Amino acid sequence: MQKVILVGKPNVGKSSLFNRLARERIAITSDVAGTTRDTNKTQIQIYDKSCILIDSGGLDDSSELFRNVKIKTLDEAKNADIIIYMVDAKFMPSDEDKELFYSLSGLNLPIALVINKVDSKKDEARAWEFISFGAKDVFHISVSHATGVDELVQWIHKHLKTNLIKPDDGNDDFDDFLENFDDDGELSKSENYEDKNIRVGIVGRVNVGKSSLLNALVKDSRAVVSDVAGTTIDPVNEIYEHDGRIYEFVDTAGIRRRGKIDGIERYALNRTQKVLEKTDIALLVLDSSEPLSELDERIAGVASKFELGMIIVLNKWDKSKIEFDELCKDIRYRFKFLAYAPIISVSALGGKRVHKLYDLILSVYRNFTQKLQTSKLNEAINEATKTHPLPHDKGRSVKIYYAVQFGFAPPRIALIMNRPRALHFSYKRYLANKLRDSFELSGVPLVFVPKKRGENSDESSENE
């Protein structure tokens, strides 16, 4: 798929244009120069064509960190198909901008000079000064006022090849689940998960090595790595193919203790949570060279609320002084709610054992999207209730008549009962453990929805 990259100096409005073209607030925008430090990618549709839109870090030499950002941005531009070079109409043209534009023009790619923040007649007059760039395709726009953007979109469309996007219909709700069953009473998958991209979010506190892990997974210096805590602010997207499967990795901003979250990082925390809403599998990255912290537990708790497949990654294993079994025991004790998550040790900087993550991610994803055989599911439930009967509710017996899976990613199971409100969360946990003995469910939460026979109203559900 073709790539369209937005480049320019800091604070010219690249992220604002990125969000407008994506029709979603993906990139963080602020008046602070250098807010975007990594390239951010998303798939968008322009009329009947699709492409990968890239929001790059600002071209700045003011510090070592930003020089690294600049190098990465220029490397991304060389691998793009269409370049949009943005400048700020509030300032006169600079020699640095002109040199950078000439350099990118030499790549022989379609390139447009986009003059942003043309909000007044004075801005319009100043914008004409950029004629000295000698650009063939020039657009005067104001992203904040949504003027001039349509002409730019038409220009992009003209240079794109036809590549239609297939709509994502999603899963049906429980109220419509009966329509998803075949003639044999088995749930039919409403989506072909074998053909879908696997969406993987990388989460953890600051400086545990999330960006290094992303770089090692995609075998490229994809994310800016620095000893400066909080280097990653925007989520960093990367689409990567491995053994015929497409993976969409997102390196999220590191999370600090609440008292240390301020300014842009508060937006980053909110954006991390939005990333998790669209993720299939979360890689919870822990620093194995340091003791586990309360913040690690809180982050794990946040991730678990999104009903994701989960893998615990012990990074910096080459620096760890703790035995693997001992650390796993501590994790299982602290993260009881993630008892289903497999644990793997890696060294992202050295690339050790990182390749094993792909097999593990694929295995968890298949568990995450699997269809449980109805007869086997009910055998396991019946065996569980015989071994440990349900507690009575105010002297009345509580029964599970049958169980049926009504959704995927993760497996969602309706328990048809006589007294659904009497099902205690501890018994759901017991049932989940019994099902894990009968099915391959490593890395996957189970969602139980107790229902009364013939009832369509929603009941509370719980992950196990």
Dist. CA 242–CA 422, nearest whole Å: 47
Q: How many CB atoms lie within 10 A of CB 7?
A: 27
451 annotated ligand-binding residue: no
Please check if 318 is assigned to a binding site. Answer: yes
The answer to whether 315 is a known ligand-binding residue is yes
Q: Is 207 annotated as a binding residue?
A: yes
3-state helix, strand, coil in the chain (%, to 5): 35, 25, 40
Is 252 annotated as a binding-site member?
Answer: yes
210 carries a ligand binding annotation: yes
Task: Flag whether 58 is marked binding.
Answer: yes
Is 56 annotated to bind a ligand? Reply is yes
Tell whether 13 is in a known binding site: yes
**Is 205 one of the annotated binding-site residues?**
yes
Q: 3-class DSSP state for residue 111?
A: strand
263 annotated among ligand-binding-site residues: no
316 is in an annotated binding site: yes
> Is 57 labelled a binding residue?
yes
Q: Is 15 annotated as a binding residue?
A: yes
Confirm whether residue 116 is marked as ligand binding: yes
Residue 118 counted as an annotated binding residue = yes
- Rounded to the nearest angstrom, the gap between the alpha carbon of residue 247 and the centroid of all alpha carbons in its chain is 11
Does 117 carry a binding-site annotation?
yes
- 9 labelled ligand-binding: yes
Classify each residue of 229-266 as buried b or exposed e, where b means 16 or more C-beta atoms within 10 Å of its C-beta. ebbbbbbbbbbbebeebebbbbbbbbbbeeeeeeebbe
> Is 171 labeled as ligand-binding?
no
| C-alpha distance from residue 37 to each of 10, 54, 103, 246 (Å) | 10, 12, 21, 25
161 is in an annotated binding site: no
Which two tokens mark 206? 């600051």
Is the alpha carbon torsion for 296, 301, 302, 303 positive or negative? positive
How far, in Å, are 146, 208, 288, 401 from residue 323 at the CA level? 57, 19, 10, 46
Q: Are 449 and 461 a contacting pair, CB within 8 Å?
A: yes
443 annotated to a ligand binding site: no
> Is 59 annotated to bind ligand?
yes
Where is the binding site, in residues? Answer: 8-15, 55-59, 116-119, 204-211, 251-255, 315-318
Where is the binding site for GTP, in residues? Answer: 8-15, 55-59, 116-119, 204-211, 251-255, 315-318
